[in-house]
Structure 1
């Protein structure tokens, strides 16, 4: 038994080590590709930095030396990768402020939208998916399923604009831009409602469809017949037995959902003028601020990779089928 436990632990550690190594390789690949794309992109970052004024050769040489732009591409790449691995994301061309500081000022605003939208969309999707599965082939299932498909098909920036037109322009109930009234610090609740609904809607619709399919499959399993034969009511059997089993595939979907929310925040923040990382990223692109663009993408990539790694680890711990495959692989390797 002890040997079996050690083998199981070894197999899981090897499995998780492969996941972490793959995430690290993917991060290096993202940095490499983005660094190359920004290198060959048209435009002159120095001219963007100084504005529409002539730049002397002496000033250009000084700026190149300050930001290390006078070095060969491969040398700048190796220096940058080394700095990133130590937590140094460089200095912004436009503000000459460390990139990590600029991101630190904005990441809290992005998470203030991303986390609540993730929680609301997940809880709503579980409830809607379970109800739709329980009432399948009835009018309520058709309504919920049809609505989910329609909402998932809507681009989030278009939905955001429509919400602004209806609730801000026409009805005047909610503000359109920013996170608080002018001159006030913090985040005001009324400024969060429209961007929060916009971010949560598509994710709720997607996860509700997955939850419905998983719940229908769970309702058809043998353990549901056993639960009914023991005298449990349909409602009790559904919530006590079918729902926990149906939630297993949602582990992966939930991890992907949070990644989608973070990536989609760029357009949502642009539409609502929300001062988060998305708006910072778009401004950096417009100013050709290479270091800031790289920094924002790296932080988003690292966050998404961490989420995916945690999702894979959690799924490996809760799914007995995956544990069995890992054990077989460990025994084969031995």
Structure 2
């Protein structure tokens, strides 16, 4: 048990250092980027030098860079992500949380679709390997994995929105309506899920082929079990172990990819908010979004690592003494 706690402790420490590195690098990159944050606050309205200097002083932008960095990191570690320059000093965390639900409305269905679809298609490809169905699934997966999601999204808009007129081109609902309409979810969810679906299909195929080649599969077949039972009841549980890691990490890629997808479809989530913050030099909002996404991805990765260690008997044996397993 002590070894397991030591492992979790090292995982938490490395995650914290990664978090500090991500925030530090982005902070300095945004600081050296061209643009004036004060102009983002006032918009296109011309202001005098006196008013400009007053706003610079009010937001602490006259302080040395290292002082501002230390102040910002201290605030972040206490849960304060600062205030937006462009929205009347509204708290950044409040702005992000108002958009987070819209992003999750895309990310969660995309995650489920890519994970379940990847497991099913990968298993079918493994079962029919070296035949036309396997070749079709594997070839399509490689092709879709190679396509940038923003380009694929624009292609879907061209086909299903412009040419066929079946689905809307973007947004969440018709003009003037509130909430999310299901037909507005279809294209962005498919766009977000496609790359991860292709990748998970390839991983599941390889894992399932390896599982089907194990001795216990031959034993199950020798007992007269049907091919479907051997595949889904015996080979599948063993093949799912690599998918635990892949599924956990893929959520981070889906959230990161939402920035481009939301831009393409005009979806008012955190991704579109990030684009607007970059264009308007609203550094506090851009940093806040990266911090929220980084923390979310780190938490998911930690949980994935812990779950994988509990599920995989080989790793569990390294951290849990055998006498404890026997006692259990």
TM-score, normalised via structure 1 length: 0.93
In the aligned structure 2, how far is the partner of 1:167 from the partner of 1:119? Answer: 23
Number of the residue aligned with 1:178: 171
Number of the residue aligned with 1:311: 304
Number of the residue aligned with 2:154: 161
Q: CA deviation at 1:42?
A: 1.9
2:111–2:193 Cα contact (<8 Å) kept: yes
Give the 5 Å matches for 1:238-253.
Answer: 238-253=231-246
SS of 2:22's equivalent in the other structure is: helix
- Structure 2: segments with no counterpart, 5+ residues: 322-328
Runs of 4+, deviation exceeding 3 Å: 51-55, 324-328
SS of 2:141's equivalent in the other structure is: helix
Return 44-53 or 226-235, whichever deviates more: 44-53
Q: Does 1:117 align with 2:129?
A: no
- Structure 1: segments with no counterpart, 5+ residues: 1-8, 329-334
In the aligned structure 1, how far is the partner of 2:210 from the partner of 2:50? Answer: 71
Number of the residue aligned with 1:212: 205
Q: Does 1:40 align with 2:43?
A: no
Q: Does 1:300 align with 2:311?
A: no
Return 206-215 or 58-67, whichever deviates more: 58-67
Q: Does 1:257 align with 2:253?
A: no
In the aligned structure 1, how far is the partner of 2:239 from the partner of 2:143? Answer: 24
Return 232-241 or 52-61, whichever deviates more: 52-61
In the aligned structure 1, how far is the partner of 2:39 from the partner of 2:103? Answer: 31
2:172–2:184 Cα contact (<8 Å) kept: yes
Number of the residue aligned with 2:325: none
Q: Does 1:234 align with 2:217?
A: no
* Residues 244-286 of structure 1: per-residue CA shift (max 9 Å, x gap): 0000000110011111100000000000000000000000000
Number of the residue aligned with 2:69: 77
In the aligned structure 1, how far is the partner of 2:164 from the partner of 2:91? Answer: 42
Return 254-263 or 53-62, whichever deviates more: 53-62
Q: CA deviation at 1:225?
A: 1.1
TM-score, normalised via structure 2 length: 0.95
2:40–2:85 Cα contact (<8 Å) kept: no
Number of the residue aligned with 1:221: 214
Q: CA deviation at 1:65?
A: 2.1
Aligned counterpart in structure 2 of residue 56 of structure 1, from 16, 26, 48: 48
Q: CA deviation at 1:238?
A: 1.3
Return 260-269 or 32-41, whichever deviates more: 32-41
Q: CA deviation at 1:49?
A: 2.7
Number of the residue aligned with 2:17: 25
